[in-house]
Amino acid sequence: MTKMKPDFMDSPFFVDEPGNWHLKPGAPKEMQEEFERYMANLEDENVPGTIFGNHISYPYDE
């Protein structure tokens, strides 16, 4: 994502309940796609040697 704040966040269709972000019914398809892409990018990847996506170097790796 190149934007700091996606356009859908300023929409009346966006509901920002803590832990329950969603779009109200009737949101435009383009907005739904942007929302789904944004939410998919927030998912954590479980990669060994990382914490929150930051690589942790181990003494034996150096």
Residue linked to tokens 């398809």 = 29
Strand, helix or coil at 50? strand
What's the whole-model pTM score? 0.64
pLDDT averaged per 10 residues in sequence order, the chain, 62 residues: 78 94 96 93 71 69 52
Structure tokens at 3: 């934007």
Q: What per-residue confidence (pLDDT) applies to 27?
A: 97
Q: What per-residue confidence (pLDDT) applies to 28?
A: 96
Q: Give the domain ranges of the chain.
A: 1-43
